[in-house]
């Protein structure tokens, strides 16, 4: 039975709006193990260097967003085998130039540093040795990179106090956020921050501490784990790479990569945090019926649907620019059904694929008109992207790679097709 584009994308994207990613490995829960769905909550939450999230409670942890508990020392061998700590107060992954992908665990007045799931030499240490000014017996911790916080920082929670640790200066500023619940664990997920308390969570601003993004608290079992009678997305499976079909793909000026299919999109640059799918209208609310093509230029994202062009300002959280949408003729000087579009880094030319032709349009010119047109060695293209490695032209579950726009437009024979793989789209081989 053929699947619709939307159904295929939902399978690929792991979840619908606000649903959390799902771990690949299904397993049968052991009744003797703790149950993440019992509403008790977690002692600590952190991702590892691969973006796999670990949820700690007592001497056990859960790997990923579904599946049974296991002893913590199965993933972090020295954590219990040597020190018999039995619990973790707080944990976070540090991801910066000097401490790339180190994981830190806090227990009473000690800190444990792991790299590649192995305890670093010389640990555990007193917390003050590595993090001067940070108190012991913490409740939670979460990393906050520069741009989301004022500097590369770690937020340490103890009661209603938040100790903001500047990684570069090794100094601490303490704030009191009495309006937030006492966090038993904290999580940064897709550039948003969550305070977990019991089976609930509250989203907060990492600088101001204000509750943001909706009505809180919310039940974590509906969003960050797969539990019976909970959740918003229903049953999700991983799509085979051979079944992939996308509508558009682009990377904005901030390096965020997006793939579109049906009425949904997925951030591809968040593989370290898991791949997550959402309705397009969640970020681009005026576009409710999917897209035909998308490209990024000059801190704006252009979404094309039928004969309409929507331009969103990426710096203003994808706000629709006043006066849009406009017709293709008004904005780009073309007509017809657009199959794909792309702009290469540091270039002012957008390449528009319509049927078996590709057209170049100078985006710096006014008015915008087609400057050149070529015939392609294939048609029925689904999507195309250009990045530092070259151009990928997608057709179903395969793509054609070209070194440059000129290589593409002058080619008379299509290169050998390559297959979409797990690293590219998060699909299943």
Closest to 386 measured CA to CA, from 349, 423, 345, 416? 345
Q: Which residue has the higher pLDDT, 214 or 196?
A: 196
Q: What is the CATH number of domain 44-222?
A: 2.110.10.10
Distance CA 305, CA 406 (A): 27
Question: What kind of fold does domain 241-419 have according to CATH?
Answer: Hemopexin (2.110.10)
Mean pLDDT in the chain?
Answer: 86
Given a contact cutoff of 8 angstroms between Cβ atoms, the answer to whether 357 and 375 are in contact is: yes
Of the two residues 81 and 381, the one the predictor is more confident about is: 381
On the question of a common fold for 44-222 and 241-419, the answer reads: yes
Neighbouring residues of 39: CB distance < 8 A, sequence distance ≥ 6: 198, 199, 221
Kindly indicate the confidence band of residue 83, based on its pLDDT and cuts at 50, 70 and 90.
Answer: low
What is the band of 98 on the pLDDT scale with cuts at 50, 70, 90?
A: low
Q: Where are the domains of the chain?
A: 44-222, 241-419
Phi-psi region of 391 (alpha: psi -120 to 50; beta: other; left: phi over 0): beta
Q: What share of the chain is helix, strand, coil (3-state, %, to 5)?
A: 15, 35, 50
Q: What is the tens place of the pLDDT at every residue in 117-154?
A: 899 999 999 999 999 999 999 999 999 998 889 999 99
pLDDT in tens, 30-71: 657 889 888 788 999 999 888 889 999 998 999 988 778 988
Give the pTM.
Answer: 0.67
Least confident of 75-84, 135-144, 180-189: 75-84
Alpha-carbon span 348 to 357, nearest angstrom: 20
């Amino acid at each position: 039975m053929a699947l619709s584009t939307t159904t295929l994308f939902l399978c690929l994207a792991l979840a619908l709006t606000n649903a959390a990613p799902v771990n690949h490995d299904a397993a049968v829960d052991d009744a003797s193990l703790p149950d993440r769905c019992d509403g008790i909550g977690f002692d600590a939450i952190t991702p590892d260097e691969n973006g796999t999230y670990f949820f700690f409670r007592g001497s056990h942890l859960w790997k990923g967003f579904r599946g049974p508990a296991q002893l913590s020392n199965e993933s972090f061998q020295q954590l219990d085998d040597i020190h018999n700590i039995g619990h973790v107060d707080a944990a976070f992954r540090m991801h910066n130039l000097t401490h790339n992908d180190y994981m830190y665990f806090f227990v009473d007045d000690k800190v444990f540093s792991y790299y590649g799931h192995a305890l670093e030499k010389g640990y555990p240490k007193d917390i003050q040795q590595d993090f001067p000014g940070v108190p012991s017996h913490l409740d939670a911790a979460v990393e906050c990179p520069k741009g989301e916080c004022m500097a590369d920082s770690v937020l340490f929670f103890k009661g209603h106090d938040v100790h903001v640790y500047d990684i570069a200066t090794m100094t601490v500023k303490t704030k009191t956020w009495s309006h937030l619940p006492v966090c038993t664990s904290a999580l940064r997920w897709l550039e948003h921050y969550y305070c977990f308390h019991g089976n609930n969570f509250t989203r907060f601003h990492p600088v101001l501490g204000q509750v943001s993004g909706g009505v809180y608290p919310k039940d974590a079992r509906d969003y960050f784990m797969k539990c019976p009678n909970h959740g918003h997305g229903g049953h999700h499976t991983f799509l085979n790479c051979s079944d992939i079909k996308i509508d558009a793909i682009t990377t904005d000026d901030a390096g965020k990569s997006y793939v579109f299919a049906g009425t949904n999109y997925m951030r591809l640059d968040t593989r370290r945090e898991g791949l997550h799918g959402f309705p397009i209208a969640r970020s681009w609310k005026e576009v409710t019926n999917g897209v035909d093509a998308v490209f990024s230029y000059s801190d704006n994202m252009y979404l094309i649907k039928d004969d309409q062009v929507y331009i969103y300002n990426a710096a203003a959280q994808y706000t629709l620019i006043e006066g849009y949408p406009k017709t293709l003729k008004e904005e780009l000087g073309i007509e017809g059904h657009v199959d794909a579009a792309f702009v290469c880094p540091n270039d002012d030319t957008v390449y528009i694929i319509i049927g078996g032709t590709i057209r170049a349009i100078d985006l710096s010119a006014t008015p915008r008109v087609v400057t050149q047109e070529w015939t392609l060695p294939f048609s029925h293209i689904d999507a195309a992207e250009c990045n530092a490695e070259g151009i990928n032209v997608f057709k179903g579950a395969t793509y054609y790679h070209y070194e440059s726009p000129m290589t593409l437009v002058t080619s008379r024979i299509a290169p050998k097709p390559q297959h979409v793989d797990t690293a590219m789209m998060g699909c299943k081989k």
